[in-house]
Amino acid sequence: MRKFIALVGLGPHAMRIYYPYIEGIVGRDEEATFDLLIDLEMNREKIEAFLHTKQVKPGKIIFLNQDEQINPKQVHPSVAEAFRELNINRVIVATEPKAHKVYLEECIRQGIPAITDKPITAPVNLISSISAAEEIYDDVAQLAARVQERPNARILVQCQRRNHEGYKKVFEVAEAVVKEYGIPITYISVHHSDGMWNMPDELFYRENHPYKYGYGKLMHSGYHFIDLLSTLLRLNNQLEAKKPDSIALFSEYSRAIDQQSVIANSEYSRFFGKDIADRFENFSKNDALADFGEVDSFTQLQLMKDERIITTAQLSLMQSGFSQRAWPDLPADAYKSNGRIRHEYVNIHIGPLMSIQVHSYQSKQIGEQSISSYEAGGNNHFDIYIFRNSNLIGGEAFEKIEYGSDDLMKTHESNYLGHNEYARFKLLDELMYNLPSNSEIADHIATNKLLSEIYKNHSRQTNGDVPYSKISTKEIL
């Protein structure tokens, strides 16, 4: 079957991931063509310069005015018409998240399989509005229901840790022990810091990974780890007698306005000079920062069965942590060449039987490594530690699995960019070749229910209430 591909949004992430994938599939699959690109008029010059260096170019480009893309009520008529006229049958949605919903709705209407970046939708003012937080779950549940009603429609969600070879091993080992011994996962700790240090002025104009719309880390990289936690929690479902029926959830955040108290004018002056500090000062003191989204989010959950605690989980999701940024102005590539550093740590306990840990730590931004890519501090460092109660369940008391292998680099024809990027390519293959997937939009309903509940507690904190809730596990497990 011929593949007529449309890419909606050519920002830094799409340039780094989606465009190389499209180049690869068009180059090796004679039935694949890149027929349509959609972006903003304000980005025309940058996009045309990018395309000038590429051999594979879109057959048609539509540039829209900003107010037609940033928060639209429906797709522009020219886009809907182009989908039909060009027989588009594969769509990659990589816009700013507030525009995701209308593009996905149009794909469903026309019965076009699509893949969307996370988050699936992003209502504004999530940090302060419980009704906006409820929309997260409602939007995804409604979109999933519409997919079921429309022949040929399909929506996949780009959430790469579902296809990450290391995490697949973690799920496999944990599930086997839970099933064999009847003891559930009793504790989960998930920590992620991506070192995305924003200067005060950038908070007001950035459209990529913004805070000014009343959301932040959770709708950026944080989504992946809420999805990871949701996936791990569901491993306990095979123990029906111990399946939790309620969740007590406590969540707090720190926002951009809090960060300005940590790094003040005197520190900016020391790091970058007085002129830069003076430039930042008016932004640092702008009252509008109080309405901006979270920089960091911290959540504790306790899952209970008949008021007895089965599992305790902690989420520590940060963008204010360790960074290699040492400059006040954004570089041309603000996505991965702006000092962003990944520190990822997961610890899972299955009662007294096993602990599984994930360690993934970078020391320098991509392209600046002087050590092996797969060692601690390298770009693709990803180690799994497995500790077993070998006296009870046998096996090695300690096992270390290093997910650093040149073999992965040879398994995909596109340029290998790392574990997460390889997993993204696999999900794109699932869309292009109509393969089975564990990341259908229906698979993300539970994740978005949990995300919604965390944001409800954030809004309670904003409004001076206790950021605590107790809810049924019905939609989450």
Bridge partners, residue 299, by sequence: 251, 315
In this structure, the answer to whether residues 331 and 468 fall within a common structural domain is: yes
199: Cβ contacts below 8 Å, ≥ 6 apart: 280, 328, 329, 330
CA distance 260 to 275: 17
Closest CA to 12 of 338, 362, 380: 338
Measured distance CA(91)–CA(105) in Å, rounded: 12
Encoding tokens for residue 39? 């972006």
Looking up residue 31, the CATH number of its domain turns out to be 3.40.50.2000
Range 71-99 average pLDDT: 92
Provide the pLDDT for residue 71: 58
Contact present, 301 and 249 (Cβ < 8 Å) = yes
Q: Supply 56's token pair.
A: 């594979």
From the list 342, 370, 339, the residue with the least C-alpha distance to 358 is: 342
Residue ending a domain, choose from 63, 91, 117: 117
pLDDT tens digits for range 176-231:
999 999 999 999 999 999 999 999 999 998 888 899 999 999 999 999 999 999 99
Position 208 scores a pLDDT of 82
For the ranges 66-70, 131-135, 423-427, 473-477, the lowest mean pLDDT is seen at 66-70
pLDDT at residue number 70: 55
pLDDT confidence of residue 380: 84
Q: Does residue 415 form part of some domain? A: no
Q: Which of 54, 82, 117 is the last residue of a domain?
A: 117
pLDDT in tens, 49-65: 999 999 999 999 999 98
**Given pLDDT bands bounded at 50, 70 and 90, which one contains residue 424?**
very high
Within a domain: 468: yes
- Tell me the mean pLDDT in the region 458-474: 96
- For the four alpha carbons of 31, 61, 106 and 19, in that order, the dihedral sign comes to positive
pLDDT, tens digit (0-9, with 9 covering 90-100), for 138-172: 999 999 999 999 989 999 999 999 999 999 999 99
Does the pLDDT value for residue 415 go beyond 80? no
Are residues 79 and 219 located together in one domain of the fold? no
Residue 72 has pLDDT above 90, yes or no: no
Q: Is the pLDDT of residue 118 over 80?
A: yes
Closest among 335, 339, 333, 341 to 271, alpha carbons compared: 339
Work out the pLDDT band at 422, boundaries 50, 70, 90: confident
Residue 368 lies in a domain: yes
- Confidence (pLDDT) at 1: 86
Residue 137 within a domain: no
Residues 212 and 307 in one domain: yes
101 in a structural domain: yes
Same domain for 269 and 211, yes or no, is: yes
pLDDT (average), residues 279-283:
93
Number of structural domains found in the chain: 2
Residue 372's pLDDT is what?
73
Token pair of 205 as six digits: 């104009």
Full residue range of the structural domain in which residue 180 is found: 163-406+441-472
- Residue 113, pLDDT > 80, answer yes
Which structure tokens are listed for 166? 């290391």
Residue (of 293, 203, 225) closest to 253 by Cα position: 293
292's CB contacts (< 8 A; 6+ apart) are 127, 203, 211, 212, 214, 216, 255, 256, 257
pLDDT higher than threshold 50 for residue 409: no
- In one-letter notation, the amino acid at residue 82 is A
The pair of structure tokens assigned to 340 is 């962003």
Asked if the structure places residue 146 within a domain, the reply is no
Q: Verify that 322 and 447 share a domain, yes or no.
A: yes
Q: Is residue 157 part of a domain?
A: no
- Give the pLDDT confidence of 351-376 residue by residue, as tens digits: 999 999 999 999 988 767 656 777 88
CATH number at residue 213: 3.30.360.10
Non-local (6+) Cβ contacts of 271 within 8 A are 326
Residue 96 sits in the same domain as residue 168: no
pLDDT the model gives residue 375: 87
Q: Residue 250: inside a domain, yes or no?
A: yes
State the average pLDDT for the chain.
92
Closest CA to 424 of 6, 17, 95: 17
In this structure, the answer to whether residues 174 and 60 fall within a common structural domain is no
pLDDT in tens, 1-52: 899 999 999 998 899 899 999 999 999 999 999 999 999 999 999 999 999 9
Between helix 222-233 and helix 445-462 the angle, nearest 10°, is: 120
Mean pLDDT, residues 242-249 taken together? 97
Same domain, 211 and 311: yes
pLDDT (mean) for 116-127: 95
Residues 184 and 243 both lie in one domain: yes
Local structure of residue 377 (DSSP, 8 states): B
Residues 96 and 169 in one domain: no
Quick: pLDDT tens for 320-352.
999 999 999 988 777 667 899 999 999 999 999
CA 337 from centre of chain: 18
98 and 241 fall within a common domain:
no
Whether 305 has a pLDDT exceeding 50, the answer reads yes
State how far the Cα of 329 lies from the Cα of 325, in Å rounded to an integer: 10
Q: Tell me the three state secondary structure of residue 52.
A: helix
What confidence category does residue 405 fall into, taking pLDDT thresholds of 50, 70 and 90?
low
Same domain? For 334 and 448 the reply is: yes
pTM: 0.93
